[in-house]
Structure formats: C-alpha cells, structure tokens
Structure 1
Amino acid sequence: MKQITSRDNALYKELKQLAASASARKKAGKTILDGVHLCQAFLQHRAAPEICVVSDHCIEHAEVAEILARCEKQGAQSISLPENLYQALSQVENGIGVLFVIATPQLEMPLTLSVNAVVLDNLQDPGNLGSILRSAAGAGITQVYCSVGSASAWSPKVLRAGMGAHFLLEIFEGVNLHALLSDATIPILATSSHTKTTIYQSDLNRPVAWLFGHEGQGVDPELMAMANETVTIPQTAEIESLNVAASAAICFFEQVRQQIVAKE
C-alpha cells in the first residue's frame, strides 16, 4: 500500500479534483464511490476499482481491512492518507474512511426499448435520481435512460443515494428520448393528474417503459404525447402532487405486485 502524506502529491491533487469537480470526472471518465457500502457493493457486483483510498485511521477497521484485502488480491492500487487529507476528499460525514476510484461505465445502447425500463426527462435532483435508481433495481427493472440535462447518474451524490443500485442496472445518459420512445416496442406509461385511470387499474403484468420528468415542470409535452397510457396515483386532494421518486417507487412496486399475483 502506498502512503501519501503531502497535499502537493500529484496523485492526491488528481483525487481531490475528481472528488470536487463534475467536469474533472467527465474529462477523466472516472468517478468516486464514497463509503463502505458502495465499495462492498462494487466488489460484489462488478470488479476491482482502479484505486482504493483509505484513511490511516481506518486501516484496521474490520470492513475496511476486508475491502483492502480483496482489492490487493485483484491487483488494485491501494493508497492510505492521513485523516485530514482523506476528509478533504470525502463527502460522507462521520463515515468509515474508504473510497474507490472507478471508471465511469460506458455502455452501448440497445437498438430498441424492449424490456422493463425507466425513462427520465430532465430530472434535476441527485437525491431523486438516486432514489429512483434504487427503487428500479429493487423492482427488478434493468435499464434506465436519462435525457440530456438530467443530473449525472454517476456523480458521488447520486451514487450515495442509489446505495449500490447502479451496479445492478444498465444506465444510459445523454439519450435522445424522442428517438428512443418512437422506436419502442413496449408500452410507454406516464403518470398524470389529468386522467381517471389509476395505477391500480392499469395492466402492468407486461414489460413497460416508465416515463418521469423534471421535478417542477414534469415531462416535456412532446414526450408526454408519445405515452401510450397515462395513469394517476390516488391521493388526498390537499396534496397537489407526490415527489417524483415516491411516484416512481409506487409505480414500480405495483408492477411487481401484479406480476406476483399473476403467478399465483
């Protein structure tokens, strides 16, 4: 394990840029997994990171020691930092000091939209995006398509909110949603307050593409017009609308419920 003690170290400066700058992460094609859970999930579902970084205060921690052993066994570079240098990289308060540097996955898009999927139009909030990814993975959905202008799916904030869901999904970013939906071979469903059909009345025992939009403006009208069906989630009149991540979770797991019932 390499020990770095100087702020002027070239590798440390690179790590600090990756931790602080979205443009640096994009240019390098890398991102940061911050914390024990994300690092464990990555090792479980993917492979070794490019770099494993630990605080020297946490090297003897049982979970960190196990992560280090697995990284070293797989040939990953391991680095230890003094606690003050490590904290300048981490955004996790009172966490256990371990993070990974990984290459941001670059996937080739499928030719058509043909399996259960989530389509996100200009979603802005990292917490919402991470929560939607987590719910999608929990519901067995495998593909997520994000439009240009959406929050970066592989940013540290979205990764923390996703809690490891990223490693169970195929995530496509910067997607032309008009082209994607026009070629879809499965129904496109969107939530709307202007329909009487509830999510519980819709036939969800089939692959569908769930379409969700911007937290304030919703789905672009041109994209909404491409939906085969709009559904509403019943709620009290006092609340104008649900948070997009909550709405998505309700939709995903109603689909799961209907699939379970169909098998009984």
Structure 2
Amino acid sequence: MKTISSRDNPLYKELKHLATSSQARRKSGRTLLDGVHLCQAYRQHLGEPQLCIVSESSAQHHEVAPMVARCLAAGTQTICMPDALYHALSQVEHGVGLMFIVATPSPEFPAQLSHCSVVLDNLQDPGNLGSILRSAAAAGIKNVFCSIGTAFAWSPKVMRAGMGAHFLLNIFENVNLHSLLASATIPVLATSSHTSQTIYQVDLNQPVVWLFGHEGQGVADDLMAMATHTVTIPQRPEIESLNVAASAAICFFEQVRQSQ
C-alpha cells in the first residue's frame, strides 16, 4: 500500500482536482465514492475500483480493513494518507475514511424508449435527483434520462442522496429529450395540477415513462405536450405542490402497487 504525505504529490493534486471539480469528473469520466456504504455497493454490483484511498485513522477500522485487503489482493492501487489530506478530498463530515475512484458507468443508449423509465427535465437540486434515483431503483425502474441542465448525476451530493442506487440503474446524461420522447413506444406520464385524472385512476400495470421537471418551473411546455397522459396527486388545496422527489416516489410506488 502506497503512502502519500504531501499536498504537493502529483497524484494527490490530481485527486484534489477530481474531488473539487465537477468539470474534471465529467472530462475524465471518473467519480469518487466517499464512505463505506457507497464503496460496498459499488463492489457488490460493479466490481473493483480503479483506486482505493484510505485515511490513516481508518486503515484498521473493522469495515474498512477487509475492503482494503481485498483491493490489495485484486491488485488495485491503494493509497493511505494522513487524515488532514484525506479530509481535504472528502465532503462527508465525521465519516469513515474510505474512498474509491471509479470509472463513471457508460451504458449503451437504447434505440427507442420502450422500457419503464424516468425522464428528468432540468432538475437542478442534487438532493432531489439522488432521492429520485433511489426511489426509481427501489421500484425496479432501470433507465433514467437526464436533460442538459439537470444536476450531474455522479456528483458527490447526488451520490450520497442516492445511497448506492446509481449502481442499479442505467443513467444517461445530456440527453435530447425531444428526440427521446419522440421514440417512445409506451405511455409517457407527467404530473400536473391542471388535470382531473389522478395517479390512482390511470392504468400503471404496464411499462410507462415518467416525466418530471424543474423544481420551480416544472416540465417545459414543449415536452409536456409530448406526454400522452397527465395525472395529478390528490392533496390538500392549502399546499401548492409536492416536492418533485416526493411526487416521483408516489408515482413509482403506485405503479408497483398496481403491478403486484
């Protein structure tokens, strides 16, 4: 296991850039998994990382030590560094000091929209995006399509909110949603407060596409026009609307309920 003890180390500088720059992560096609849970989930579903990083104080931790040993046995480059250097890379406060560097998954883009999917138009909040990914994975949905302007799905904040859901999904970013929705061979559903049909009245015992939009502005009008169905979630009139992540969860699990 290699040790890095200086901030001037070239590899450390590269890792610091990767940790602090979304542009660097996009350009390099790599991302950071920060914490034991995300690292365990990645290994369970996708295999070994490119690089394993551990803080000195966590090297003998009962959850970390076996994972580090497995990385070393697999020939994965493994680095130990002082806590101060590690914490400059990590965005997790009071977490266990384990981090993986992995290649950002790049699934094959489907020829047409024919499987149960989630389409996100300009969703900007990382927490909302991560929550939607987590709910989608829990509901058995596989494909998530994100427009240009949607938060970077592989950013540390989205990863933490997703709690490992990323590794069960095919996530596509910077997608032209007009072309995508035009290829749909299954119903496209969007939530709206300007419709009378509730989520509980529509037939969800079939594959559908769920279309959700910006937290404040909702789905763009031109994309909304491409929805085959608009549905509403019944709620008290005193509340203008639900949070988009809450709305998505209700929709996904009503589909699960109808399909059982």
Give the SS at the match of 2:86.
helix
**Counterpart-to-counterpart distance in 1, 2:78 and 2:186:** 45
Deviation at 1:74, TM superposition (A): 2.2
**Counterpart-to-counterpart distance in 1, 2:40 and 2:54:** 14
Q: Hey, what does 2:167 align to over in structure 1?
A: 167
Percent identity, aligned pairs only, is 69
Deviation at 1:75, TM superposition (A): 2.0
Q: Hey, what does 2:220 align to over in structure 1?
A: 220
Q: Hey, what does 1:32 align to over in structure 2?
A: 32
Deviation by residue 1:118-153 (Cα, 9 ceiling, x = unmatched): 000000000000000000000000000000111000
**Counterpart-to-counterpart distance in 2, 1:18 and 1:167:** 20
Deviation at 1:69, TM superposition (A): 1.9
Q: Hey, what does 1:112 align to over in structure 2?
A: 112
Deviation at 1:105, TM superposition (A): 1.5
**Counterpart-to-counterpart distance in 2, 1:75 and 1:199:** 51
Q: Hey, what does 1:76 align to over in structure 2?
A: 76
Give the SS at the match of 1:62.
coil
Letter in 2 for 1:98: L
**Counterpart-to-counterpart distance in 1, 2:29 and 2:176:** 21
Deviation at 1:25, TM superposition (A): 1.0
Q: Hey, what does 1:6 align to over in structure 2?
A: 6
Deviation at 1:76, TM superposition (A): 1.1
Q: Hey, what does 1:259 align to over in structure 2?
A: 259
Aligned residue-pair number: 260
Give the SS at the match of 2:63.
helix
Structure 1 residues 76-225: aligned runs within 5 Å: 76-225=76-225
**Counterpart-to-counterpart distance in 2, 1:252 and 1:17:** 37
Q: More deviation in 67-76 or 231-240?
A: 67-76
Deviation at 1:107, TM superposition (A): 2.2
Give the SS at the match of 2:7.
coil
Deviation at 1:47, TM superposition (A): 1.1
Letter in 1 for 2:231: V
Letter in 2 for 1:84: A
Give the SS at the match of 1:88.
helix
Q: Hey, what does 2:57 align to over in structure 1?
A: 57
Q: What root-mean-square deviation, in Å, do the aligned CA atoms of Structure 1 and Structure 2 show?
A: 0.7
Give the SS at the match of 1:57.
helix
Deviation at 1:70, TM superposition (A): 2.1
Q: TM-score, normalised by structure 1?
A: 0.97
